[in-house]
Structure 1
Amino acid sequence: MNKFQAMEVFVQVVDTGSFTRTAELLNLPKASVSTLVQALEASLSAKLLHRTTRQVTVTSDGAAYYERCVRILSDVREAEESLSRMRVNPSGRLRVGTPTGLSSEILVPALPAFFERYPDITLELDSTDRPVDLVEEGVDCAIRGGPLFDTSLIARRVGIIHFVTAAAPSYLARFGVPQHPDDLARHRCVNYFSAKTGKVHDWDFNRDGERIEVPMPGVIALNDSNAYVQAGLAGLGIIQMTDYLLTKHVEAGRMVPVLPDWVSDPLPVHIVYPQNRHMSAKVRVFVEWVSELFANHPQMRLGARPAFAGQVAEAA
C-alpha cells in the first residue's frame, strides 16, 4: 500500500462523503479507492469510516486521523513546492469558479497576460452565477461577490462591486424616467433571481442616510448576469446591474442611468478556497494575479466609487 496515496484518498472521501466522487476527482477506479481505505484501516487496526448504501461518515478515530492527515499532506506539499518554486514555474490544471459577467467582461480579456506570465498552467473556468461547492465539484478556488456565509473557506478580499440602475433609451421613451425609487412601482423592471434558492432579489437604494428596499414589479426574471444585461438592452425594463457590465453600454448610448442620486449597496469581492487544503503554487499565483488585476481596474479596485453618479437621464 502506498501510505501517502491512501491518506490522500481517505481525506478526499471525508471531504466529499463519497467513494464515487473521490474516484472521479482523483481519476482512480472506485474499487481502488475502496481498497486503499480498507488497507489503511487494516494497517492502523482502526475503523475510520462508517459506510451505508446512502452515505459515508467518519468515525471518532477517523476524525482524529483525518486532522493529522490534512496537516501531513499539507506539510509534504509545502516542502515539495518550496523547492520547486525556485526552479520551475507553477504548472498543472487549475479550476476556478467565476461569476459569468465578471468572467466575460474582466477576467477572460486579461488572460493573455496571465498565460504570458504562467505558460505551464492549464486553466479551467467554471463560469456560473450559481455558488459552487469547491470540494464537491473539485474547484481549486473561486471568485465570489457579496457576503460570505461558508466558514469552511479561507477568503481574501480583492475588490468591490458597485451597481447602476439603468434602462434602454427605447424603454424610457415609452414609459418615462423615474425620479424616485417609489416611481418604480409604476414601471417594468427586469428581476434577478438566485440560482441556489430561486428567490428574486429586492432592490436597495440609499441617499443621504435614507434607505429604501423594495421588490420590483416585472414580467421577466433571470439568473445569468449576461442575459440580464441583454434583457435591459432589449428594452424589457429597468435593470440594476454591476457598473463594469454596463459601462460600455452607457458610454455607447445603449443604456441610460436612472436615479443617479440613489446608490445601491456595494458588494465585496473575495477569492475563496478550502481551509483544509494547502494553497498550492498555482492557486497562490492566480490569487496574486487577480488581486493585481482588480487593484488596477477602475471599477473593481477597493475604494472605487460608483460610475455615472450624478448623471441625469432624459427620455428620448
Structure 2
Amino acid sequence: MQNLEALAIFVRVAEMGSFTRAAASLGIQKGRASNVVRQIEAQMGARLLHRSTRTVQLTEDGRSFYSRARGLLADAEGLASMFSGIDVPLTGRIRIDLPTEFARLIVIPAMPTFIEAYPDVELEISSTDRRVDLIHEGMDCVLRIGGIFDETLVARRLGALRMVNAASPACLARYGVPHTLQDLLVQRHRMVHYTPTLGTRPFGWEYPEGDGYAVLPLPGSVSVNNVQTYHGAGLAGLGLIQAGLPSLAQFFQSGELVEILPDLRPEPLPVSVVVAHRHNLSRRVRFFIDWLEQTLQPYLDH
C-alpha cells in the first residue's frame, strides 16, 4: 500500500504540474511529496520530472512511468472493489476534457445529477476546442467531435452531431437568401472560416454530393479557432456558418440566426468518448462515461 500511495503522489504531482498544489490537494506537506518523488526516481534510476522554480513537467521517461502508474492505480482500485458489490460509493478524482459548447449547453447543466448520485467524486473539467493529449495532460477521458486519428487511443462512439447551415437576418438582407449552391456564388456570399490552427487553409463550404460530401470554396474576411467566437461571428453577420444544431437551436428560436439550405447540410460529425487505455479504467471513470453517454443521447443522431 505504501508503494501505491507513492505512485498516487507522483501521479498527482505530474498532473497538477506543481508539488505545492499536489500536496495541498492530497492533504500532505510539500516536502513529503518532493521526497516521495525523489525516492521513486532513485529506485527507477531515471529522472521522471523536469523541475523549475514555477512548474514541474514530465520527462520522456516520466511520461512512460506516469502512464503505467495510472494503470496500476486503476487496477488496484478495481481489485479492491472486486467483491464489494455495486453499492460501494464512488470516490476519487476524474479529469475530463469537453468541447466548449457541449460543456456549456449540455454537460454542465446536467452535472448536478451526477454530483447528487456520486457526491464523493471530484471532477476536474477542462473545456477547449483543441485536441488535448490525454496522456501528457493527464486526462482520464475526453469527449471528441470528429474523426479519431490516433490509433493508440480507444474510442467509444456515442452518436453523430447533426450539422446545419446558418446566417444572420442582416447577412441575408445584404446578400439574399440562397436556395442553391449556385446562389452562394451568384449572390456573392461570404463565410466565416473555422480552423483549429490559424494560418492553415480554410475548410470551405461543405455540402452533400452523390454518396459523399464535397467542398465549395467561399471567400471570407474572418477566420477563427474557437467555436463560441465562430458562432459570434455568424450572429454579427460576418458571414455564413456551418455548426452543430444543438448549439444553434437557441438562436434559431430567437430569430438571431436563420437556417439556410436545409437540404444541403454538412456531414454529421461523429461524437466519441476517448480514453488512453481500455483495461485500466477506474470504476469511477467507467460510471462517468456511462452517465455522459446517457446525458448526450437526446442531442445526437444514431
The bucket for the TM-score relative to the shorter chain is 0.7 to 0.9
| Contiguous gaps of at least 5 residues in structure 1 | 42-46, 303-316
Whole-Å separation in 2 of the counterparts to 1:268 and 1:2: 43
Deviation at 1:269, TM superposition (A): 0.6
- For 1:29-68, what aligned pairs fall within 5 Å after superposition? 31-32=34-35, 34-41=37-44, 47=45, 56-58=59-61
Q: Which amino acid aligns with 2:35?
A: S
2:235 aligned partner: 233
Q: Which amino acid aligns with 2:160?
A: I
Deviation at 1:163, TM superposition (A): 0.9
SS in 2 for 1:112: helix
Number of aligned residue pairs: 288
Contact kept in structure 2, 1:96 and 1:126, CA below 8 Å: yes
Contact kept in structure 2, 1:157 and 1:269, CA below 8 Å: yes
For residues 177-199 of structure 1, the C-alpha deviation after alignment (integer angstroms, 9 at most, x for no partner) is 22333443421211111148855
Whole-Å separation in 2 of the counterparts to 1:115 and 1:50: 35
Q: TM-score, normalised by structure 1?
A: 0.76
- For 1:163-242, what aligned pairs fall within 5 Å after superposition? 163-185=163-185, 186-195=188-197, 198-209=200-211, 211-242=213-244
For residues 282-311 of structure 1, the C-alpha deviation after alignment (integer angstroms, 9 at most, x for no partner) is 21111001111122x1x3142xxxxxxxxx
Q: Which amino acid aligns with 1:184?
A: L
1:77 aligned partner: 77
Q: Which amino acid aligns with 1:98?
A: L
**CA RMSD of superposed structures (Å):** 3.6
Percent identity, aligned pairs only, is 34
Q: Which amino acid aligns with 1:116?
A: E
Q: Which amino acid aligns with 2:233?
A: A
Compare 164-173 and 274-283 and name the one that shifted more: 274-283
Whole-Å separation in 1 of the counterparts to 2:106 and 2:232: 17
Compare 280-289 and 201-210 and name the one that shifted more: 201-210
Q: Which amino acid aligns with 2:225?
A: N
**Mapped pair 1:267 → 2:283:** no
| Contiguous gaps of at least 5 residues in structure 2 | 24-29, 52-56
For residues 52-82 of structure 1, the C-alpha deviation after alignment (integer angstroms, 9 at most, x for no partner) is 99984449xxx8x999867654432211233
Whole-Å separation in 1 of the counterparts to 2:75 and 2:20: 25
SS in 2 for 1:129: coil
Contact kept in structure 2, 1:207 and 1:261, CA below 8 Å: no
Whole-Å separation in 2 of the counterparts to 1:52 and 1:127: 26
Q: Which amino acid aligns with 1:102?
A: F
For residues 253-284 of structure 1, the C-alpha deviation after alignment (integer angstroms, 9 at most, x for no partner) is 22111112212111111111121772112211
1:161 aligned partner: 161
Contact kept in structure 1, 2:198 and 2:223, CA below 8 Å: no
